[in-house]
Chain A
Amino acid sequence: MSDTVAPMLSVFPSRALVDENFKVVVKNLPPGCPVTLHSLHQCEDKHYWEAYGHYTSNHRGTVSVTDDLSFGGTYTGKEAMGLLWSMRPVPGSREGLRLRRRNVCSPLLVNISVYRGHVVEGFREQAPLASSLTERWYMAPGVQRTQIREKGVRGTLFLPPGPGPFPGMLDMWGGGGGLVEYRSALLGSHGYASLALEYFAPGELKSADLEFNYFETAFNIVKYHPQVMPDRVGIFGLSIGAVLTILLAAESSFVKPSCCVCISGNHLYPRGATIKEVHQVLNMKSPKIRLDENNYEIWRDMGLPIPDDLAHKIDVGRIHCPIMLVNGHDDQSWATVESSDDMAQMMRAAGNLHLLTRLHYPDAGHLIEPPYTPLFRATKFVKDTKEKVILLWGGQTKPHSDAQEDSWKKILAFLEQNLYSSPTLKAKM
């Protein structure tokens, strides 16, 4: 056997939350050695995802992903977290895959390896020089996860560790349906008692017998929880969840959130309509659905033009709490930017524009999620007709990932400002 000891590959921290940075360093390589850093993850559906970057070691035989530049691969440039956000399904995978973690109690396991030379394919067929395993967690130690089945409301509550009381959050996802827990798990890890709400099963939006009342009840479950501060409860929504958030903030007489975060939402909701009726409206507009060159459905035109008629829009002038809107300019699913422009106009006219914060990201798509998870430019979606199509969400990998990283930091700061800051400081502002 040769006297060559393996290079040392380290990932620090080896166990981290999904939104935390890590440092990947390789030592003990020969100087000026071309290598490929590679990441591999097998998701719960058993698909493989990978990313890689091409590097050259320095005179001491070291490569540091945080400090050095990648000159090729699924990401280029100085990208500390590129090995995570630029992951994509390995060649030969099915189309339209989406990496969404269902079990948030255990970590995502990512294998990070270093290969000799600048490799572009066939990673599984060769032995790496060294490899390391890193754990990415949605739940911090001590966070408690509880199923909620109360007053007809279905969801999962994540409580931070400690006695509390904590600020609360109602967390709503979008048209894909089902119960998506990971954002609430992360919010719980950041100190918010967060309820991930399930409000319809996948593909069943049309038949969902939903009334406004369901969301108000859900909000109150959070508000009146013994470990939640009733005067510090916010609402967080993405896509349809964001529409519902804006609706609750503007129209509900029972629900008074302390602040709202709306990602890729809009205010196009016929006044007084039920969700079912909204759906019928959407169906009527379905001729406006376009197809791109891959036959992926583009839905954004259904929302255009933004109507002038107030009867078709939520009266955002009635919002009384700070609200943050996050949108991607390359959103192919909804006309969120145009909607957000219109909302700002309405709020200016109503005199509550000071409550609005807008985060806009060029070349980001619809699904702006917590950072360092792969972009889904287009994924399969089950329509109400039970038809399985591929929806184009939009977004270019690097700008979309930057948007996720930047918006998440700003969202957490916004939540901290509005839900954690002491009252005396607030009064002075």
Chain B
Amino acid sequence: MRFKRVLSGLMAVALAVSMAGCGGGNGGNTAGGAKGEEGTVVASNKAAHYYKAEYLEKLPEEFSDINRAFFVGDEIVYSSYGASYDTPLIGRVNLLTGESSVVWKKEGTDETSITGMGADTEGNVYAFFRISRIKDEILEKNADVTDEDIIKYIYEEWGMESYEEAEKYWNNDLKSSYGDKSMAEIYSMMTADYENDYIREDTFVKYDASGNEVFKNTVDIGADIEIRDVKTDKNGNILVLTGEWIGDDTQNYIQIYNSDGSAAGKVELDTYTDKLLTLANGDVAVANSGETCEIITIDAANRTKGETKTIAGLSYIGNLCAFGENEYLVNCDSYVTRVNTDTGEKEKFFTWLDSNIMSYYVRDFGMLSDGGIGVYLESYGTGRSVDLAILREISEEEAAKITPVNVVCFYADQRLQNAALEFNKKHSDYRISITEYYDFSDENSDYQTAMDSFVTDCATDSSIDVVSFPGYSQMLDFADKGLLTDLTPYMEKDELIKKDNIIPGIVSAFTFKDKFVALPSSYRVETLVGKKSVVGDRQGWTAKDCLDAYEKTGALVMTPYTDRATIMRTLISLNYDEFIDIENGTCNFNNQDFQDVLALAAKYPEEYVYNEETNQMDDFKTGKQLLYTDSLPEFNLGQSLASICGEDVSYIGYPTSNGNGAMMAFYGMTGVTSNCKVPELMWDFMRTMYLPEASEMMYGDSEYYNGSILVSELDKYLDGAKSWKNRGEVGYDTYNVELRTPTDEEVETMRTLLNNTTAVLDSVSTSIMNIISEEAAAYFSGEKTAADVAAVVQSRVDIYLSETK
């Protein structure tokens, strides 16, 4: 009886468990939810530690124009080019005391240059200097050289088109750059062979912690050797990391010197590395990012590689520093991970952004004796600037006092990070935390899994405040689901980032169901240029026009550097409005235009195979290729094509049944979620990305457009183009073209083109493109007619679109 009870009890439990098995199943594929599985990307922004950056306010004047800088103990030791690249120096700054000193500085007319430097944990600094000058006999040989000789040399050897051009270049630009050097010296410098015609004197010098010279030895390190780092091991051996470029390849060595600076041998390394690492036990090692990431100890005594320890899970090793016995902190772009080579443990240690640091600017970091982390930062943009910061750990409780604002993205670009950093500096009660779904440093990163997780989380996680979309079609999908806030009210209050001041094509691209749902941080326009005498000047050819041109001339219409799939994607994107109506969930592929698109795409190879003999510019000039891809709003290519062909060119655009054939490519499309509790604050964060300062930070003030989406910035750029002077030369394949100031007419043509561009690159979702590519294959292989394929595409895409309504 008792047995029966137990049996029935067990059966009941078994039934429940079996039902659990039923409940867990699903008939289809999973959308995301794969977090934490092996081989997936875990989009967790939670780091084990929280740090806060304290920037060093007073940096020594010499700490600028940095060439190399290394953290050694509490100090950063650096070499500088000096202002105007003519006063190189080596200096040191103690991050904890703020003390600084100059170890060596070039004085007077001395020809000495620094070829490499490093420091050890004792505070000693090691430097390699070189004095190089042209041999006297070469100078004597060239003693009678005149301006004409130099111009002739430039004309003949530097590929100038005419003697006059070379003369102009010499007199206007080059001559002044040589200062007060004699003609003999200049000519000798131009013609001399660095290996044979120069006298090189290399010295290896050691300075102690007080800056006193300990030894100074003459060494021969070879003409093309670069010295990347110097460290000493626990036995006093000096290890010098060197490399020699031979063509595209590099040979890497560690040169070993005895403690007195005398050469003792070398160890060959397998891959490029630019930093030596002093381990906790005093050994010196290198980090190797080959097939596997490894820390290789150098056995200086035996002139060989010692113990090798693998770091699992990393696809490459960025910068790193020793953290403890067998432990390292490795910079993984947006965050720092702690790895233990003995246990294989790996944890996300802290994120740069949470510490108020722009990860893009981090050049080196190291542990300080008081537990802080020293960080050396370099930023570019309007000018190069350097910073030093100390990261101090704060408790989780302290970090939790600040309200987190969650921004998710596939990969945080510089503008997004900068905007978050600016926001965090400005708001003490809120902190933007960026979650990235794709981790380039993780060798297990899988794009599709990351994308699935991204899509699912964005659609279901109510804690997300801002989304930065990796693609335009994804942004449209989210807008269609009503998951994005209308930005119009915030833009109406904004004095600069308002609808009237945003490029019209962008306004139309990001207005969905009368709501302004997102904004890109930057944009570009792509179009096709043709010779006016051949293609005329009617913008927006149709696919049929291209096919006719192809039949008539036999010329390839568009770029040869592409394949069928890319052309299909481009053509469908351009004709998006004609083929797809996402707002109403309908499509129209059952027409001649789509069949023409198929026919045009069929002219391209299934897979593009690079052919180094292809000279696109020659093909364009001779008429083998009708249209050339141009990226706007720069003027360079249009001018160059006209100059090379000797005739006017016109912007024809990609084949489309409507519009001007140009299309916009967007970057960093960002929107506020409909669930965001602080939309106004988020607009404050977002708008930072669109400010002129943000664009300048990326590109500086140059003739290259900074991608700003503001009409005022575009107008400033275009109007400024009218006064560009001395633009220099550009090279295309075998052609060099002298750029000129754009004419008023060219500028206005460009402005009109940009203001009338409405098509968006990659506007079609991957699912639709997959359907089209899948069905088009039958047409490309000749099994089905274009009409049959169009009918099937129509049916399948219609299902896809109607499902979303």
On whether the two chains bind one another, the answer is no
Name A residues whose Cβ lies closer than 8 Å to a Cβ of B. Answer: none
